Structure 1
Amino acid sequence: MKIRKGLAALFTAAALVVAPALTSSASAQSYPERPVEFIVPWSPGGGSDTLMRLIANNVKPFLGVDMPIINMPGVGGTVGLREASRRANDGYTISQIHEGLIVATEVGLTDLAWDDFEPIALMTASPQFLVVHPSEHYSNMEEFVAYAKEHPGEITMGVTLGGVPHLHAAMIEQAFGLKFAYVGYEGTGQRVRALVGGNLDAAIGDISSSKQFVENGDLVFLAVGSSKRMEEAPDVPTFVELGTDLELNVTRGIVMPKGAPEEARNTLEAALEKLAHDPNYIEQTHNAGASVDFRGQEAYRAYLEKLDATVKSLSEVLAP
């Protein structure tokens, strides 16, 4: 009888030790139990909104739940991000950031910073080109750099002042030791049209805004900020090929409120990585003018840290 009682007590004690572990494991495997809300801090129909809807519309087979989108535009994307930062950090709210947040933080447009969030995954990249009006002074990047060094401050560069195009142009200045004369435009379309019309010497553009003009001979791509040459412009060298470590992209990445549970972060990261290899999603993203460029939590954080340091080093140039 005493032996039976002793065994019963032993099994009871073992069960108490094992039960919490089993409960914790079950909890880790239960996320997500309901839809994950996606705050897109931009207006419907824009580039970021379109690309984020492709994620939301395709992720369910890999995540297991719906991802309803809530558009919250305003002040360069910071209104929606402010709301996202205030949401419960339980893994059921996500949002989207790109290079614009880091620039907005540095120039004082917002006190929010990228590290007020948990970076989950970089999903897409839209490589940016240095595009120029045809000139007798240069026909490739080497000649452009040589001319710009001989004529500091004379090349007019179209950008969105205090925005990502301004950042990218300043990064080119820094990398090659150049000095541009900046001219501000509200959007990519405006500055590309000014460039085609001969009102600018150079601008920061992308495939969707500039390729047709390049094919017509109205503009020239000198270099691209992708890690490797783009199939849409195979003759255009990358800035890396030209001896720099420049990445000039408009990237879109997914973040959660600070302090989100590790299991939620890891589960969403895994689902997004599977989505990034889905042929249908890849094709849809390509058709929307971007490329899938998945980077998980660690790689995405490293990208943002490097970019943040670059923006800080250019703060005087970017200041409005």
Structure 2
Amino acid sequence: MKKALVFLMTAVMALNVCACGGKAETAKQETAEEKTVEEEAAVDTAAQEEEAFKPEKDISFIVGFDAGGTADIPARIVAKYMSKYAGVNVVVSNITGSGGQVAAEQVKAMEPDGYTLLHVPVGYYLQAALGNADFTYEDFTPVTMWCDSWVALAVKADSPYETYEDFISAVKENPQSIRMGTVSGTLPQLAALAIQKKEDVAFKMTDLGVNNKATELMSGRIDAYIDGVGQLSQYVKSGDFRLLMAFAKDDTVIPGFEDLPSAESLGYTDFDYLLQSFGMWMPKGTDEKIVQYYADLIKTCSEDPECIKELNALGYGARSEDPENYANICEKVQTKTNEAVADILN
């Protein structure tokens, strides 16, 4: 019995030793596997960080219009916040000429190194549709939208036109009697033609050329004109002008002009080509990682309460868009602008 008991105890001890050895071996294997996974994750993270774009020098934001204008003012606001989050300076440079075409042509010819951005007004689509520009969005790399703006119909505050309906009634009663100030080849001119077509009225179109539109209206040389809300807001606040409508959708809230009738509420349809949102392009061939970096940067800026506040105070809205969505928007706007020009001008 004693021998049997000793044998049994010895066997149990041997099994325990084997079990402990097995557990230890399993633990070693699990630890090794965990270490391998962690090392692989670290390598992947390092590779992603190495591949990701991060600017290391100043970025040029090219605006094809004069400093202090409708295009320039919001660009400088957004550039300030881009600099804040990018960690480098985003410098706005004004390269004027041919309705922004000089700036576009220069950017088009630049290397796609990730340090040059082009301010894109809707005027570029119109110029292409009119055959006045030999480039479209397809000659660049679309990045994102960065600012919302809208064009509105303005009259003097002491004019007899209290509402849009008053204004249209007056034009219908006396065709060619209302002098509409326009500048050839611009979005406001296209908007004025759209009003004529939709309402079946005829303005006395007055080409203002390089003259200041606000001064022309205040002096009484014209009766109305269409311009960006951001540019008109100062004259509304001063009590000089009254806005009668804006080319905007019903669900759009225009900062400071929440009660302004939208084109959609007045029966306009399919007028996306008259929405004045600003976009951003880069030289063609810019790397996708670079494009995504700037799209993400603009998104961050558009969600910054202070950035939103500054833009809203001047009648603009913060905006961002995914690069793929923005490219689709570019295609749609160009197509619609082409159709509108062919329909209205022919």
Unaligned runs of 5+ in 2: 1-40
Range that drifts further, 210-219 or 170-179: 210-219
User: How big is the shift at 1:98?
Assistant: 0.2
Q: Distance between the aligned counterparts of 2:259 and 2:54, measured in 1? A: 46
Asked if the contact 1:192–1:205 (Cα under 8 Å) also holds between the matched residues in 2, the reply is no
Q: Distance between the aligned counterparts of 2:87 and 2:311, measured in 1? A: 21
Give the aligned CA root-mean-square deviation in angstroms: 3.3
Q: Distance between the aligned counterparts of 2:45 and 2:238, measured in 1? A: 65
Structure 2 equivalent of residue 296 of structure 1: 322
1:201 and 2:220 equivalent?
Answer: no
TM-score scaled to structure 1, two decimals?
A: 0.78
1:86 to 109, 116, 126: 109
Q: Which amino acid in structure 1 is aligned with residue 335 of structure 2?
A: A
User: How big is the shift at 1:125?
Assistant: 2.4
User: How big is the shift at 1:265?
Assistant: 1.0
Superposed CA deviations along residues 110-150 of structure 1, whole A, max 9, x for unmatched, are: 212233112211111232211235655x5322343344445
Superposed CA deviations along residues 96-121 of structure 1, whole A, max 9, x for unmatched, are: 11012122223333212233112211
Q: Which amino acid in structure 2 is aligned with residue 280 of structure 1?
A: E
2:308 to 273, 282, 301: 282
Structure 1 equivalent of residue 290 of structure 2: 264
Asked if the contact 1:124–1:252 (Cα under 8 Å) also holds between the matched residues in 2, the reply is yes
Q: Which amino acid in structure 2 is aligned with residue 86 of structure 1?
A: A
Structure 2 equivalent of residue 7 of structure 1: none
Superposed CA deviations along residues 20-64 of structure 1, whole A, max 9, x for unmatched, are: 988863443244454433233334443433322222222134334
Superposed CA deviations along residues 131-185 of structure 1, whole A, max 9, x for unmatched, are: 235655x532234334444554443211112222212212333444443321111
Q: Distance between the aligned counterparts of 1:61 and 1:220, measured in 2? A: 37
Asked if the contact 2:255–2:316 (Cα under 8 Å) also holds between the matched residues in 1, the reply is no
1:142 and 2:165 equivalent?
Answer: yes
Q: Secondary structure at the match of 1:295?
A: coil
What is the number of residues matched between the two proteins? 301
Unaligned runs of 5+ in 1: 1-17
User: How big is the shift at 1:218?
Assistant: 5.3
Structure 1 equivalent of residue 144 of structure 2: 121
Q: Secondary structure at the match of 1:59?
A: helix
Asked if the contact 1:122–1:295 (Cα under 8 Å) also holds between the matched residues in 2, the reply is yes
Q: 1:174 to 1:122 in 2, by over 3 A?
A: farther
1:232 and 2:256 equivalent?
Answer: yes
Q: 1:52 to 1:240 in 2, by over 3 A?
A: same
Q: Distance between the aligned counterparts of 1:28 and 1:174, measured in 2? A: 52
Q: Which amino acid in structure 2 is aligned with residue 103 of structure 1?
A: L
Range that drifts further, 197-206 or 211-220: 211-220
Q: Secondary structure at the match of 1:236?
A: coil
Q: Secondary structure at the match of 1:205?
A: strand
User: How big is the shift at 1:194?
Assistant: 2.7
User: How big is the shift at 1:295?
Assistant: 3.0
Q: Larger radius of gyration, structure 1 or 2?
A: 2
User: How big is the shift at 1:275?
Assistant: 0.7
